[in-house]
Structure 1
Amino acid sequence: MSSRFTALTTFCVVAFAVLATLMAAVYASDAVDERQKRDQVDVFSNRALLRAELVTSEAESALHQLMPYGNDPCTSDHLQRLRHVEEQFRYIREVAWTDGARLRCSSQSGDVDTALPPPEWTYANGFTAWHSEVGKRGNERRMLNVRLGNHVVVIDPRFYLDIVPLDDTIQLAVLETQDGGIISSWADADYTLVRAALKRTTRSQYFEGRYYVVERSSRFPIVVIAYEPEDRMRRDLPAQFRTLLLPALILSVLGTWLVMHWRRKLRTPRNAILEGIRRRQFVAWLQPLVSLESGRCVGAEALVRWKLEDGSIVAPDTFIPMAESLGLVEPITDQVVRSVFEGVGAVLARRRDLHVSLNLAGKDLAGTRVLDVLKPSLAKYAVHPEQIWFEAIERTLIDTAGSAPVLEAFRAAGHRIFIDDFGTGYSSLSYLQELPVDGIKIDRSFIRSLGGGEEMNKIVPHVIDMARSLDLLMVAEGVETEPQAQYLREHGVQFAQGWLYAKAMPADEFLRYLDHEAARTRKA
């Protein structure tokens, strides 16, 4: 009886401890997840404000440049001056002159005679602004007019929010701060909600089922408001606890036994990784990259794997964050480079149409050390530099001023540079223009909805259009179905990788994959 009581007591104590720990971990995890999502919205809204301030600043600069003009208005000389200002500023779509009551001439239409509408709002130093509709009936576009003195500049309000969406549910609006007038907004933004958010005193908060961030400009009377649905920002904790209760009780004893059993065998993470480096256990697996036009393999992405002594494989998500925090990424990168050339260096030398992409960690982008590591292998295996591509994760390139010279050095050495997981950070058209890159990799999270009967992911077409406008190559990650591949092919994406074609595999399996593909091509 005593032993049974002891066993029962021990079980209850352990179960309570495991359940309490699990619930605390769920709560902490949710809190961290919510904090990260809120930080993302905060950074995103700040970027939107920087864009809005940039457009507003151009309007002011253009009008100040026109102020000193003192000759007769609407003459050929004056119209030429208006057109020059329009061409000089990227966000200005038209420049006009008014006598105070009517518009008399413009850079695009020459002489006009249009009544001047009353301003929707005014702000310091004599600036006024109002919206107008342009275009044919049924296809009108809303434009913003800003006036100083007798000159007016016309801006497409869409420029105020020309940034890549953070996700499918976030909404943005730019308002003037005097009366809450909407300057520009995304299509589904609720004007009533954003005006209500403007009246509140706190910068960020939850109300009416949404999380809001209000970014006020210190330079201009404008404010950017971003909001997300509350259920996307934080989870229903009571429902999670109810779901976890029974599994937690069942697994508590087993989990406790496993922890105690393995505790004796565990080593510190640093020693384990150092031992793996010493034993050269970090190897490259290769996932084929396919041309969407021809359907043939044109290369592969090298993905690091940790091959333990017992033959088991550890995925990079398990050890790379730890290696980065311990400053051990560089020797792992070196082993991946050697593993790639040992595995497929010979076939790269025979087939100049193939390439291998190597991933660069944040520390790898601090300088050109990787190029020095690469040179001996290129010479030994007679591989051309253009057959080795590099991929840099988007979040590591936020400091464009620091990253651009390093990326330029890689390109000068003959390598192509791609931005990996594109769209998951805070990129925009101007961001891409500042970086010397050859292409982007569209993150797999945006590919899932393509051709699957779900609501179309709104981000993918935007990313494709952005890349095409800059003449960048595109690689789609995570392609799993033929409808997805068909959609990407029809929209001009050049390359794809994913389980539709092949999973990541060791080098010897990749060589067999190439042989089988060559055999199929010969039969065809």
Structure 2
Amino acid sequence: MRVFNRPVAWGGEAWLWHCLRVRGRWLAACLLLLLLLQLGMTWWHRQRLDLEAGQVMAEGLAVAQQLGASLERLAQSEAPPCSMEDYALMAQILRDYQYTADIGRTVGDRLLCTALRGQLAVPIALPAPDFRLANGFSFLTAHRLAPRDPIPLDLTLYRGGVAFTPPLSFDSSYLAPEHSFYLLDGQLRYLFRILGKAPAEGGAPAVNWFTGLRRCSADGILCVVAQDRQPWLYQQPYGVAVLGLVVLGLGWGCLCGLPVIPSQRRLRVQALRRAIFQQQIQVWYQPQIQMATGKVTGFEALSRWQSDSLGNVPPSEFIPLAEQAGLIHPLTLHVLKQAVDQCAVLLRRHRSLTLSINLVLGPALTAEFFDKVRKRVLSRGGRCEQLVFEITETSAVGFANIQVVCDAIKRSGFRLSLDDFGTGFSNLSWLSHLHADEIKIDKMFIQALGEEGVAGRTADMLLSLTASLPSVAIVLEGVETQAQVERLTARGRHWIAQGWYYAKAMRSAELAGYIAQHGVAEGVTRASVVCG
């Protein structure tokens, strides 16, 4: 008898119950995966939101501390208000505190004078403060002293003094477009500033774990309410379909015993994102030397990443990773800010020094971007022509607006350098229409000097070509041996050299000592530009 091989005859009710039970398990599994996916996505978004909230908090505390210090310093002065001694003190305060745009004296609700406006012919009546703290500080937000003022200013008042802070004191270029940030006092009663694309009116929104977060400083002075305006994937176009496909894929993978493990590349991208927004990427500087005198003409800013989890990651690895992951713009912003701030004192002290920074060409390099950089350089006391932006042919591959970016660099008053010159096919054509101030010869040509064959002849030809450009500075990369120095010096050209023969990259704290030891070259031949 073949009882066990006979097919089972399903009754109608039994078949229906079996289907419901099997499909119910699938439905429960899909719902569980959907919940886990949403929680994971929300957690991932909160990590970036938390990083940006920390940056907003740091900038807010810097502004608050500088305003408080400047007004406290003015209040302790015994000089008569609006006297020459008082003006000298206010001018010194403006030099010492970058976030104080102007500072002045008040009597009652009348503004008598300021450091920049001088003695007012008619005192300006100030409205009642929007908010007052128990320690005597009061605030006016977005107030115009005169109808012709181009932008409204934030006013902080304290014991007969008033400090002005422009709204542009906060940089929101690093914020994700779907994030909004509300800077409030420690009691969450007064809204100082809104960053991001959010309605200008109204207070901070109520947030929960899915839609945002709230962070307050350790001293309880300021709080930041951060909001994610797009917290749910399924609220986006075709979000439900995407979630459905993801759920089915995850369910099938789990049933097949194939767990979803983050790839090594994704882990490195996450680590790089944290390093950028937590300011773990450090900037080192390699000197550029005038070969004829041995004196310093400038420095090139170089990124360094010492990761807690990955160890020392060389730029040749994390720069391409940043380009592929869409992180090159925030990385460039971080390097720019750090380099300009760290070198500000040296650039003010030595007006012929230059600071070179590499740019990867992309759509984020707009005229507005370079205008922000210009304002930051000027606010630190530097000159625009001291900043050199280096572009390479490899970074321009697939980018159609090279001329637009180069024109924006020149209009803003910065210098333009063609990096790794000679390594591509279009460099020579660049000379005719990009109007570069500087050309950097790639190290492969310097290392080929004196060699027989095509490489050596190409190096000689390239050096002869650039020698015929007297108005353009020529920087030679990768100068590492005495023999190379002797061959280059014998050609009779006032080259600028950069390489291990003269110095390796160093921290910003070592720059002043290096300059004191070698001196600063004066009158280096460079094209003239105007700092707009």
Tell me the TM-score normalized by structure 2: 0.50
- Counterparts of 2:130 and 2:188, CA distance in 1: 9
Deviation for aligned residue 1:483: 4.0
User: What is the SS of the residue equivalent to 1:66?
Assistant: helix
1:30-179 correspondence runs (5 A): 30-112=38-120, 113-131=123-141, 132-134=143-145, 137=148, 140-159=150-169, 161-176=170-185
- Counterparts of 2:342 and 2:7, CA distance in 1: 69
Does residue 362 of the first structure (1) align with residue 268 of the second (2)?
A: no
- Counterparts of 2:342 and 2:23, CA distance in 1: 54
CA contact (8 A) 2:129 2:138 kept: yes
Which residue in 2 is equivalent to 1:404?
none
Which residue of 346, 357, 363 corresponds with 1:439?
A: 357
- Show structure 1 runs of 5+ residues with no match: 6-11, 264-268, 270-316, 326-356, 371-388, 397-418, 451-456, 503-513
Deviation for aligned residue 1:118: 1.6
CA contact (8 A) 1:467 1:474 kept: no
Which residue in 1 is equivalent to 2:469?
none
Distance 1:177 1:360, change over 3 A: closer
- The alignment-based identity, stated in percent, is 14
User: What is the SS of the residue equivalent to 2:132?
Assistant: strand
- Counterparts of 2:254 and 2:68, CA distance in 1: 67
1:179-218 correspondence runs (5 A): 180-186=189-195, 188-192=197-201, 195-197=203-205, 200=206, 204-206=208-210, 211-218=211-218
User: What is the SS of the residue equivalent to 1:74?
Assistant: coil
Deviation for aligned residue 1:43: 2.1
Deviation for aligned residue 1:464: 4.7
Output one character per residue of 1:41-90: Cα deviation in whole Å (capped at 9) or x when no partner. 12211220121111011011111112222232222112111211122211
1:212-231 correspondence runs (5 A): 212-219=212-219, 221-231=221-231
Output one character per residue of 1:401-438: Cα deviation in whole Å (capped at 9) or x when no partner. xxxxxxxxxxxxxxxxxx97341799486545467995
Distance 1:196 1:36, change over 3 A: same
- Counterparts of 1:129 and 1:212, CA distance in 2: 27
Which residue in 2 is equivalent to 1:244?
245
- Counterparts of 1:176 and 1:256, CA distance in 2: 48
Return the letter of the residue paired with 1:190: P
Distance 1:134 1:151, change over 3 A: closer
- Counterparts of 2:173 and 2:64, CA distance in 1: 19
1:300-315 correspondence runs (5 A): none
Output one character per residue of 1:346-387: Cα deviation in whole Å (capped at 9) or x when no partner. xxxxxxxxxxx999773798569x7xxxxxxxxxxxxxxxxx
CA contact (8 A) 2:182 2:204 kept: no
Which residue in 2 is equivalent to 1:421?
328
- Counterparts of 2:398 and 2:373, CA distance in 1: 23
Deviation for aligned residue 1:196: 4.9
CA contact (8 A) 2:112 2:124 kept: yes
- Counterparts of 1:67 and 1:395, CA distance in 2: 52
Distance 1:421 1:362, change over 3 A: farther
User: What is the SS of the residue equivalent to 2:144?
Assistant: strand
Which residue in 2 is equivalent to 1:308?
none
CA contact (8 A) 1:128 1:146 kept: yes
Output one character per residue of 1:158-203: Cα deviation in whole Å (capped at 9) or x when no partner. 32x324332222223323466844422247422455x152xx5xx7
CA contact (8 A) 2:172 2:196 kept: no
- Counterparts of 2:153 and 2:304, CA distance in 1: 44
Deviating more after overlay: 46-55 vs 17-26: 17-26
- Show structure 2 runs of 5+ residues with no match: 9-19, 271-301, 344-354, 378-386, 410-415, 427-453, 463-532
Distance 1:17 1:115, change over 3 A: closer
CA contact (8 A) 2:49 2:226 kept: yes
CA contact (8 A) 1:213 1:227 kept: yes
Deviation for aligned residue 1:104: 1.8
Deviation for aligned residue 1:128: 1.6
Which residue in 1 is equivalent to 2:468?
none
- Counterparts of 1:223 and 1:133, CA distance in 2: 26
- Counterparts of 1:108 and 1:425, CA distance in 2: 34
Aligned residues: 348
Which residue in 2 is equivalent to 1:491?
408
User: What is the SS of the residue equivalent to 1:118?
Assistant: coil
Return the letter of the residue paired with 1:439: I
Deviation for aligned residue 1:23: 7.2
CA contact (8 A) 1:94 1:153 kept: yes
CA contact (8 A) 1:166 1:424 kept: no
Deviation for aligned residue 1:39: 1.8
Output one character per residue of 1:210-261: Cα deviation in whole Å (capped at 9) or x when no partner. x233333454654323222234667679924874399769x96xx899x79x
CA contact (8 A) 2:70 2:97 kept: yes
Output one character per residue of 1:94-113: Cα deviation in whole Å (capped at 9) or x when no partner. 11112224222221122122
- Counterparts of 1:169 and 1:219, CA distance in 2: 29
Output one character per residue of 1:433-487: Cα deviation in whole Å (capped at 9) or x when no partner. 46799535659xxx5xx4xxxxxx7x86665555665636466998675545454
- Counterparts of 1:478 and 1:14, CA distance in 2: 55
CA contact (8 A) 1:96 1:153 kept: yes
- Counterparts of 2:417 and 2:125, CA distance in 1: 51
CA contact (8 A) 2:191 2:204 kept: no
CA contact (8 A) 1:173 1:186 kept: yes
Return the letter of the residue paired with 2:144: E
Deviation for aligned residue 1:122: 0.9
Return the letter of the residue paired with 1:70: E
- Counterparts of 1:170 and 1:428, CA distance in 2: 23
Tell me the TM-score normalized by structure 1: 0.51
Return the letter of the residue paired with 1:69: S
- Counterparts of 1:392 and 1:496, CA distance in 2: 19
- Counterparts of 2:69 and 2:55, CA distance in 1: 21
